[in-house]
């Protein structure tokens, strides 16, 4: 799955596009998202890291592989995976329990994707969702009913980010609430992203949040932000400078 054009593989806009592709592949449940679904991401690299981030936010249970200790440690530190185990058996014990409860979890096995794929086929482990894996043996999963994740494609709306000049831990959640107010309540994937992306993206989202917005939604978002800033100025005397930016730098502006 290639990263979106002109975007680093692990940037927030790139991860959002993969998240949207997951939601197009299987309709998420209103409450649990993709809870109860198993995603196989293959070997951990720049592309699958974005997929694992997106799957965590979407609520899926994810399985990945990595034979490299440095990659394993970095994936744990960044919150890309929750557990690192040494065998498929250990991974399945964790995954089965969380899938049964429709809970989010991501597990990496300390082996190559080729080895893990072969073991999954031998054990009859069938993922619900499948990354575009290079191994020919992965095609067997598709023939057995797994669904390959849709390509991100060209987004219909621009990804809009917001940041502040001070106290991001205080102000970014308030800006998220402004966005939640203008995204339709029945747009469950985008509402889920706004609620959960800051938690699962960790350090990536410490100073900047965002989501795809249509032009009319962006205009309403700006109105909501202005109201929120004015309300806070009147009630507490506090305010902040908010930067709202589309992906292209020339579209950034201050409020």
Q: What is the pLDDT of residue 53?
A: 97
130: nearest Cα among 53, 63, 79, 36:
63
Are 140 and 162 in a shared domain? no
Any domain includes 19? yes
Are 249 and 208 in a shared domain? yes
Residue 243 main-chain phi, psi, to 5 deg:
-105, 120
Are 66 and 127 in a shared domain? yes
Q: What's the CATH code of the domain at 51?
A: 3.40.50.10730
Tens of pLDDT, residue by residue over 95-108, are 999 999 999 999 99
Residue 65 main-chain phi, psi, to 5 deg:
-135, 150
Overall average pLDDT of the 229-245 stretch: 94
Any domain includes 7? no
Cα gap 40→251, rounded to integer Å:
37
Any domain includes 172? yes
Both structure tokens of 177: 């609430």
CA end-to-end span of the chain, whole Å?
Answer: 36
Overall average pLDDT of the 156-168 stretch: 92
Are 16 and 141 in a shared domain? yes
Q: What is the pLDDT of residue 29?
A: 80
Parent domain of 102: 12-148
- Total domain count, the chain: 2
Are 168 and 88 in a shared domain? no
Are 235 and 199 in a shared domain? yes
Q: What is the pLDDT of residue 104?
A: 96
Tens of pLDDT, residue by residue over 5-38, are 333 456 899 999 999 999 888 887 877 899 999 9
Q: Of 117, 148, 179, which marks where a domain is finished?
A: 148
Is the confidence at residue 253, as pLDDT, over 90? no
Q: Of 99, 114, 148, which marks where a domain is finished?
A: 148
Q: What is the pLDDT of residue 254?
A: 52
**H or E, element range at 106:** strand 105-109
What percent of the chain clears pLDDT 70, i.e. is strictly above it?
91
Q: What is the pLDDT of residue 151?
A: 72
Are 69 and 182 in a shared domain? no
Any domain includes 2? no
Are 95 and 171 in a shared domain? no
Overall average pLDDT of the 148-175 stretch: 88
Any domain includes 162? yes
Are 127 and 27 in a shared domain? yes
């Amino acid at each position: 799955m290639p990263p979106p054009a002109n975007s680093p593989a692990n940037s927030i806009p790139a991860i959002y596009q993969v998240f949207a592709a997951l939601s197009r592949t299987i309709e998420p449940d209103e409450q649990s998202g993709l809870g109860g679904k198993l995603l196989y991401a293959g070997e951990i690299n720049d592309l699958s890291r974005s997929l694992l981030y997106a799957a965590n936010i979407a609520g899926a249970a994810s399985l990945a592989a990595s034979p490299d200790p440095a990659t394993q440690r970095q994936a744990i530190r960044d919150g890309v995976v929750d557990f690192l185990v040494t065998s498929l058996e250990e991974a399945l014990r964790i995954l089965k329990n969380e899938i049964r409860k429709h809970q989010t979890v991501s597990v990496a096995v300390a082996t190559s994707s080729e080895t893990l794929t072969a073991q999954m086929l031998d054990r009859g482990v069938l993922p619900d969702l499948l990354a575009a894996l290079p191994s020919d043996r992965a095609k067997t999963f598709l023939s057995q009913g797994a669904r390959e994740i849709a390509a991100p494609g060209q987004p219909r709306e621009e990804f809009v980010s917001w940041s502040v000049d001070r106290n991001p831990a205080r102000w970014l959640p308030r800006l998220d609430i402004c966005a939640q107010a203008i995204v339709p309540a029945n747009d469950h994937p985008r509402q889920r992203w706004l609620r959960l992306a800051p938690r699962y993206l960790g350090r990536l989202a410490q100073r900047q949040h965002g989501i795809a917005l249509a032009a009319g939604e962006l205009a309403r978002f700006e109105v909501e932000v202005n109201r929120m800033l004015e309300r806070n100025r009147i009630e507490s005397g506090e305010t902040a400078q908010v930067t709202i930016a589309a992906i292209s730098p020339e579209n950034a502006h201050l409020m």
